[in-house]
Every structure is written in structure tokens, then in C-alpha cells.
């Protein structure tokens, strides 16, 4: 039995327009043309159906010509359903692709960060979000010079810290105590629970990234220990 094949020229024309990243409109147009081409081809050159001798009816009174006509219509419906299913899948895939590419995407370069001094030897930069907003996520970075001490303080929400540069030593308690410090190296991570009193010491040029859910606030245990960023060095 000779199997039906699509016109190579027609298929090449359709495949040529499918190059690159097709839009939903182009996919719909191409497959609509392909479905009509399948239907016309089946009508003009239907697949052969084996049948008994001409004008001989079967047990239910249906001639072989009627069975042949029904076979053509069945074959046409099958091809239309297959093409429709492919069309639906193509439209769904294209729609999913457009949904992904339409989402906002941004990259924050280190050189573009804006730093604000907070205490003597330390400055802070917001990378993403608004640390002051309640219930909103944020990402920020703390940059401190070698030897900077961060006095004991606490936050109203959990603080998650990752060391990006240098060595960051952190301890818990109501006042700075070098004996309680634990060193965190580059890549180390910790979670400081909300309202836990803690302090820190920076070794080397130090950068720590903090993220969490706002609001982010620093409550000093003993404000007199905090050295303002513009304070002159003591003699």
C-alpha cells in the first residue's frame, strides 16, 4: 500500500518560516495552512482501501464504495485532530516562552552600589528591596575596614548573613567580648534570630551580605559605645 506523503515544496516552505523563535501568530498561520493542505490532499488523492469486488454489498448492506468514502472522511478527521493537537501544543509552548521572557530581570553590578556610612569604619549599601518596609524581602551589604568593632545590638526580625570578603567574627551577649567571638570565613553563613543580642569584629577588608524580611533596624544595647562615622580619631 502506498503511503501518503506531504508535498516536499509545501513542507519546506512551512519549515523555512519556522526558523528562529516563532510567535504565536506565525505558528497559528503555518499550522492552519498545513491543516487545509492535508484536507485537500486527502480529498484529491485518498489512501487506497482494500475492498471486495465492485457492487457487492456486505452483510449490513453497505457497499464497498460507501465504506471507501467513510474511510476517507475518517482519515481526514484523524489528520485534522492530529494537526490541531500539534497546533495547540505549539501555541502553549510559545505562550509559556513569552511568559518567561516577559518577566523583569536585573543585574546589580558591584561598582554601581551606593554606600552610606553607618558607624566608624563601616558603610552599608542596599542591593535589593527596601529594608525599612515591614514584611518585604531585602538584600544589603555591610563593608567594614580591618579592626572595626560592631557593638552589641539586636534586630526586630531574623538577620541572615553571608561572608563575601575577609573574616567576620561574631558573638552573642550584651557587650563586646573577644572570648565569645566565632570566626566566619568567605562563604560561611549564619542566621541571627530576632531580638538576639550580638556583636562582631572585622578582620581584613570585610564585606558581609545580609538578607531577610523587613523591617531591618539596629537597636544598640549601649549607644555610648557606638562611634559616629564622622568622629575624629582619638589621640
Shared domain check, 145 and 192: yes
Position 45 pLDDT exceeds 70: no
pLDDT at position 231 is 86
Shared domain check, 120 and 84: no
Shared domain check, 122 and 94: no
Q: Which of 101, 126, 151 is the last residue of a domain?
A: 101
Shared domain check, 133 and 93: no
Shared domain check, 93 and 119: no
Q: Would the pTM count as exceeding 0.85?
A: no
DSSP code of residue 53: S
At 155-179, the pLDDT tens digits run: 999 999 999 999 999 999 999 999 9
Residue 198's contacts (CB-CB under 8 Å, 6 or more residues apart) are 152, 153, 154, 170, 171, 172, 173, 192
58-72, 102-116, 117-131, 197-211: segment of lowest average pLDDT: 58-72
Q: How many CB atoms lie within 10 A of CB 161?
A: 20
- Please provide the average confidence, as pLDDT, over all residues in the chain: 76
Question: What is d(CA 64, CA 67) in angstroms, rounded to the nearest whole number?
Answer: 5
**Alpha helices (H) in the chain, listed in sequence order:** 8-17, 24-44, 64-101
For residue 142, what are the domain limits?
110-225
Amino acid at each position: 500500500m502506498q503511503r501518503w506523503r506531504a508535498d516536499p515544496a509545501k513542507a519546506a516552505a512551512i519549515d523555512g518560516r519556522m526558523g528562529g523563535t516563532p510567535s504565536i501568530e506565525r505558528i497559528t498561520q503555518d499550522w492552519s495552512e498545513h491543516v487545509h493542505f492535508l484536507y485537500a490532499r486527502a480529498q484529491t488523492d485518498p489512501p487506497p482501501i482494500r475492498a471486495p469486488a465492485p457492487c457487492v454489498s456486505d452483510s449490513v448492506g453497505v457497499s464497498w464504495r460507501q465504506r471507501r468514502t467513510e474511510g476517507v472522511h475518517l482519515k481526514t478527521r484523524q489528520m485534522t485532530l492530529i494537526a490541531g493537537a500539534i497546533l495547540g501544543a505549539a501555541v502553549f509552548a510559545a505562550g509559556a516562552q513569552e511568559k518567561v521572557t516577559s518577566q523583569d530581570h536585573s543585574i546589580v553590578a558591584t561598582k554601581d552600589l551606593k554606600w552610606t556610612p553607618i558607624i566608624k569604619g563601616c558603610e552599608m549599601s542596599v542591593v535589593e528591596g527596601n529594608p525599612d518596609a515591614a514584611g518585604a524581602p531585602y538584600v544589603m551589604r555591610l563593608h567594614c575596614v580591618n579592626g572595626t568593632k560592631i557593638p552589641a545590638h539586636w534586630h526586630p526580625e531574623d538577620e541572615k548573613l553571608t561572608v563575601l570578603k575577609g573574616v567576620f567574627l561574631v558573638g552573642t551577649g550584651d557587650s563586646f567580648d573577644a572570648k565569645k567571638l566565632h570566626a566566619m570565613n568567605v562563604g560561611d553563613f549564619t542566621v541571627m534570630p530576632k531580638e538576639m543580642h550580638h556583636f562582631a569584629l572585622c578582620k581584613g577588608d570585610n564585606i558581609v551580605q545580609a538578607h531577610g524580611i523587613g523591617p531591618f533596624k539596629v537597636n544598640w544595647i549601649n549607644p555610648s559605645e557606638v562611634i559616629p562615622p564622622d568622629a575624629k580619631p582619638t589621640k
